[in-house]
Amino acid sequence: MNITSLPQFHLYLLTLHFLRIKNLLLPKNCNERCVDATIINRAYYSSYLYCQLWLEKVHGFKVKHPWEFKNGEKRIGEHKQVRNALYDFGEEDSKTSLKKLAELRNKADYHPDTKLTSKDLTQAINHMEKIFNNLKFD
């Protein structure tokens, strides 16, 4: 499977491009947190969507949507289902990276007064790249 034509891969490339041109993306009178948060967000979603696709194409796994749970059945969120499935299929490193990316995205998206460090940004990119390098379609 040629992943370079997939939207998930394009989002990965766009995220790396945002990182390279980060300073050009900053509006006047705006600190870099807004761009850093966007890069972290895109790193998470490109990785999540890639993991979801990998699980489906390689293992036939599909997430269960909220309306597909039976009455009384414990509902598990789609993002947690993906992380659990990565673990179940022997991709503990990718599961851990996706979890850490989710934590960084939460910090970036839901805590706007919290400082994002260059370490946060570097970690997000490293986790994203680790996932894309670990999960192969052939």
**pLDDT (tens digit per residue) in 27-53:** 888 899 999 999 999 999 999 999 999
**pLDDT (tens digit per residue) in 113-134:** 999 999 999 999 999 999 999 9
CATH number, residue 39: 1.20.120
SS (H, E, C) the chain: CCHHHCHHHHHHHHHHHHHHCHHHHCCCCCCCHHHHHHHHHHHHHHHHHHHHHHHHHHHCCCCCCHHHCCCCCCCCCHHHHHHHHHHHCCCHHHHHHHHHHHHHHHHHHHCCCCCCCHHHHHHHHHHHHHHHHHCCCC
Q: Which residue segment(s) compose the domain that 25 sits in?
A: 3-134
**pLDDT (tens digit per residue) in 78-91:** 999 999 999 999 99
Give me the number of domains the chain comprises.
Answer: 1
CB-CB contact of 86 with 95 (8 Å): yes
